[in-house]
Amino acid sequence: MAALFLAAQVLGGDYYAHINDIWWYAQSVNHAWDDNPAVFCTQEFYGDDNDKKWYNGSFGWGGLETAGFYYNCSRISPYSGECPFAVNEMDNSFDMEKDPTYAETLLALIRLYFSANPELYTYTPTVEDREYLDMADARREKIHSSTMDISNEVTGQIYYISNNGDDSNDGRSPETAWATPYRAMSESLSTEDAVLFERGGTWYIDNETNLGSASKNLEFGNGVDIGAYGEGEKPVLRGDIQEANDPGFWELYYDQDGKKIWKATKETLRPNVIVFDEGESWADNILTYWDGDKKYVNVDGADFMVEESLKRDLTFCHLYDLEKYHDQFPNTDNTWKGELYLRCDAGNPAEVFDTVSIPQCITCINLLPESRMTDLDLRYFTMMAARCTSNSAPDLHDNCGYNYNNLDIGWCGGFAQQYTGLITDIYQQTIAGGALGIYGSEVTVTGCHIHHCGPMAMILSMHDHTTESAETITYKDMYFSGNLFEYCGAPLHWVDLSMSENPESVSYIESMIFEDNMVMNSGEGLIYEIVLQSSVFGSGNSFWLSAIEDGMGAADNGGIFIRNNILYISKYSLITICHKVCGENERPVNREVEFSGNTYVQLQTRLLIQEPFATYQFYPNNDEVKEYINDLTGTYISLWPGELVEE
């Protein structure tokens, strides 16, 4: 299986097991194959974690044999429904005490070959699943065309913001509207007031404007609602810059054999993505390695070269001045500027495309307690569109009363925020963010369209930064319903980080309901490419590529309900669940997540459920799926991946 893992490196494309060159890595630490293939190389072989010689990658924690084992489990042939080397799903083992036969090895390679998707297959929706795509189209149109007038519900003062306004006005009527949201932040707003943006308007939000808050995001006060007024499309709040649409913003840096790389003529903050024609296409972010000092490098330690690293059309990279910043990592607030390089073989990007959007602002809105945000279009923010937090203590868990309704959120998250140790003297970027950050109780997200956001679109992250004493961190009454998620990483992701911050903490979810949502094509497109490059989890463990992701582990809860949703195709596993009771790998569970009435639609070649740390995996056509997830009222649909592409 380790040899199979290395074969994937040679094949490349969708076979590519991990962004790192594992074979080079094995040589760099003098890896030698064990005589007994059943014995996985361990931490003792590679050295301790401080030496960064212990392989810690997407497909296992330990040696190459371990990585090969996990990689084998991540592939399946659509013809036989088997992994390259057949693995029993209940104990994930086969006879490793003897070498495979010649015939078994050939069969494994054939299964590996046919496991690739989409290079070998073209998928066309069938009558069976076309109805779900039609339902998603209808929900998307409903959200885009619907409006919510909250003005009649506001008991305090309403302040208006319009592209035709003036910040010297009083902002108290549509006729005397302010021009910018920054003017509203300078006013002392009271609980039960509201700030309304005029429909049809557009505002560019940036990190460099003095917004009057430490986070430099829009923040209006506790109990202040944010919404829209007037006629037309939802008000648009953008985190990109307008200069990128000017051909003069770009200069030709490299031009050889049809390959053209363009350099921005001004330094920029680090973008998460570059989007063309408002989402018709995009350029992928090529993450960089760092030597820990003053040089960008490749994974093998060789100097990083822009013209060699942008191997595909519509890719980009962003380079800080390491002479200036090398001793200041991480840059989590995205305040450092650097050089931006974009490969666009067709010509000057501003001439090839009608619009070029380069996200610069890290987050648009900090929604404070007892507030709601409705009827807005938020796009192009490097970390996330909005987060519910407190202006006094950002991670104070008992703040409550955040409502997100009828929003359109796109192209947010994936910010490469810091470097982590990969191996000796080489560090790789990690990514974070998504659409919405959930850091409190009594949170509702209803009727929203969230697309092209990740690595975690909706992040429920439990923290304890407030005390060193023992405390129970309780999040309660979270409700997510009627939403449409498309091409997002982990539309619902919950994780407990409190114990790593305070070992005395105990986290508890009292009630969380995720129902009547449509989750379509999770982990596809932009998100897949950037997750594949990240060193934290990566695609092999399926984190950030699933529709539903439980990262709590301990699973202490008083009720987590996933019901009556449509979960339609994910890039890797449709559901990743970490706290099931799994035989000898039993974890402490007081109450399992309750799945009921959901529709599970997945390609036969991809996982439906994975319990990654116990390595339990179930494909759509596995009869044990219903019993494992305990959704006896659910609908399970296994889709053929498509027709084989003819040479």
Does pLDDT of 567 surpass 90? yes
pLDDT at position 589: 57
DSSP 552-583: -SS--BS-EEEES-EEEEESSEEEEES----G
Beta bridge partners of 263: 251, 341
Mean local confidence (pLDDT), 247-272: 96
Per cent of the chain over pLDDT 70 is: 75
Q: Which of 181, 493, 217, 456 is nearest to 333 (CA)?
A: 217
Does pLDDT of 79 surpass 80? no
Mean local confidence (pLDDT), 240-261: 96
Residue 272's pLDDT band, with cuts at 50, 70 and 90, is very high
Residue 638's pLDDT band, with cuts at 50, 70 and 90, is confident
Mean local confidence (pLDDT), 357-376: 94
Does pLDDT of 538 surpass 50? no
Residue 205's pLDDT band, with cuts at 50, 70 and 90, is very high
Beta carbons of 159 and 195 less than 8 angstroms apart: yes
Residue type, 14: D
Residue 587's pLDDT band, with cuts at 50, 70 and 90, is very low
Residue 269's pLDDT band, with cuts at 50, 70 and 90, is very high
Does pLDDT of 580 surpass 80? no
Does pLDDT of 81 surpass 70? no
**Looking at per-residue confidence, does 422 or 253 come out higher?**
253
DSSP classification of residue 310: -
What Cα–Cα distance (Å) separates residue 515 from each residue in 31, 148, 346, 599? 49, 21, 45, 11
Does pLDDT of 550 surpass 90? no
Model confidence pLDDT, tens digit, residues 207-220: 665 444 444 689 89
pLDDT at position 49: 44
Distance of alpha carbon 66 from alpha carbon 96, whole angstroms: 12
Does pLDDT of 232 surpass 70? yes
Mean local confidence (pLDDT), 384-397: 66
Does pLDDT of 53 surpass 80? no
Distance of alpha carbon 491 from alpha carbon 454, whole angstroms: 8
Residue 64's pLDDT band, with cuts at 50, 70 and 90, is low
The tokens of 249 are what? 């913003």
Mean local confidence (pLDDT), 142-168: 95
Residue 47's pLDDT band, with cuts at 50, 70 and 90, is very low
Beta carbons of 489 and 434 less than 8 angstroms apart: yes
Does pLDDT of 545 surpass 90? no
pLDDT at position 40: 36
Query: Which residues does 463 contact at the CB level (< 8 Å), separation at least 6?
Result: 395, 397, 439, 473, 497, 498, 501
pLDDT at position 113: 81
Give the chain's mean pLDDT.
80
pLDDT at position 189: 94
Mean local confidence (pLDDT), 23-44: 44
Does pLDDT of 59 surpass 50? no
The strand pair at 371-374 and 56-57 is best described as unpaired
The tokens of 459 are what? 């992040």
What residue has token string 């063309």?
276
pLDDT at position 199: 97
DSSP 137-190: HHHHHHHHH-----GGG--S-EEEE-TT--TTS--SSGGG-BS-HHHHHTS---
Report the predicted TM-score, pTM, of the whole model to 2 decimal places. Answer: 0.85
**Looking at per-residue confidence, does 102 or 506 come out higher?**
102
Q: Which of 518, 458, 452 is nearest to 482 (CA)?
A: 518
Distance of alpha carbon 264 from alpha carbon 248, whole angstroms: 9
The strand pair at 426-432 and 289-290 is best described as antiparallel
Does pLDDT of 378 surpass 70? yes
The tokens of 188 are what? 């002392």
Residue type, 67: A
Does pLDDT of 443 surpass 50? yes
pLDDT at position 575: 92
Q: Give the E-state strand segments of 424-544 in sequence order.
A: 426-432, 436-438, 441-446, 449-451, 458-462, 471-475, 478-481, 484-486, 492-496, 505-509, 512-515, 518-522
Query: Which residues does 141 contact at the CB level (< 8 Å), separation at least 6?
Result: none
Does pLDDT of 505 surpass 50? yes
Residue type, 114: F
Mean local confidence (pLDDT), 1-20: 65
Q: Which of 531, 403, 360, 425 is nearest to 16 (CA)?
A: 531
Say which range, 189-193, 270-274, 367-371, 472-476, has the weakest mean pLDDT: 472-476
DSSP classification of residue 618: E
The tokens of 186 are what? 């300078």
Residue 401's pLDDT band, with cuts at 50, 70 and 90, is confident
Residue 416's pLDDT band, with cuts at 50, 70 and 90, is confident
**235 three-class SS:** coil
pLDDT at position 78: 66
Q: Which of 507, 522, 197 is nearest to 364 (CA)?
A: 197
Does pLDDT of 355 surpass 90? yes
Does pLDDT of 555 surpass 90? no
Does pLDDT of 397 surpass 60? no
Mean local confidence (pLDDT), 440-467: 88
What residue has token string 């429904």?
81
Say which range, 143-152, 318-327, 526-535, 622-631, has the weakest mean pLDDT: 526-535
Residue 471's pLDDT band, with cuts at 50, 70 and 90, is low
pLDDT at position 73: 67
